[in-house]
Amino acid sequence: MRAAHHCGPSCHGAQALDAQAQRPWPTGPAAPRHAGSSRTGARTRAPCIGRQTPNHCATREAPCSGFMAGGVAGVCVDLILFPLDTIKTRLQSPQGFNKAGGFRGIYAGVPSAAIGSFPNAAAFFITYEYVKWFLHTDSSSYLMPVKHMLAASAGEVVACLIRVPSEVVKQRAQVSASSGTFHIFSNILCQEGIQGLYRGYKSTVLREIPFSLVQFPLWESLKALWSWRQDHVVDSWQSAVCGAFAETTAAFWSQIREVGPWKAWTP
């Protein structure tokens, strides 16, 4: 299980960003040139992957629109899935699952996750949407994935500034359930300083960026393709399905690198 950011589009509420209504696609003389029409007057158009027109099938969001949606959904998902994250962390612990706590104190470290989830997810999605907005051009389809890759990479770099300290405290609490979250946080500051909270920052960024380079272009492309096939913007549940598929695909090849940041986060 990845550290939550954004966890991904399927788990951070990015699907809520696609719920805005769009203007009807114009027909007749006012229709854009790339929207063809049949002899009967029925309109047809090519997939809008990579196209940027006034009536583009994927709504161009304001950069701040992802702040609340991503943040609130990030908190909900992190709290719901926290027990599974604890079990995964203890299974990876060098001291073994039982010595790391087993099934006891399954919510150890949850205060750190609860405090860090909202700003972490919100920081990712507001950066992601802003960079997409900033790079908005009438580019051809083969350049659109590059824009999404750059936006996701920037989002990861910013989000990790919040995520890594939260993960350091959370995972140390998960493998030492007898110590409180605040006590662990205080010990890190006293013994290691602020640098201790950012142990593993570089390895975390190097892990998350390749994941997002696969996940987010695939997510955006699936949404655009689905929008084209049904001739209107995807619903929230459809965006969630696209996000789940994209995140699962990215996880297949990136999960093996999960152990690197974990070893840096724990003593």
Give residue 249's pLDDT band: very low, low, confident or very high (50, 70, 90).
Answer: confident
Structure tokens, 102: 């087993």
Between residues 193 and 255, which one has the greater pLDDT? 193
The pLDDT tens digits of the residues spanning 90-101 come to 888 888 888 888
Is the CB of residue 71 less than 8 Å from the CB of residue 119? yes
The pLDDT tens digits of the residues spanning 188-209 come to 999 999 999 999 899 889 888 9
Is the per-residue pLDDT at 153 higher than 90? Answer: yes
In whole angstroms, give the CA distance from residue 248 to residue 117. 21
| pTM over cut 0.85 | no
Give residue 26's pLDDT band: very low, low, confident or very high (50, 70, 90).
Answer: very low
Mean pLDDT of the chain: 74
Is the CB of residue 204 less than 8 Å from the CB of residue 3? yes
Identify which of 46-55, 85-94, 119-128 has the greatest average pLDDT. Answer: 119-128
Q: Burial-class residue 53 by CB neighbours within 10 Å (0-12, 13-18, 19+).
A: middle
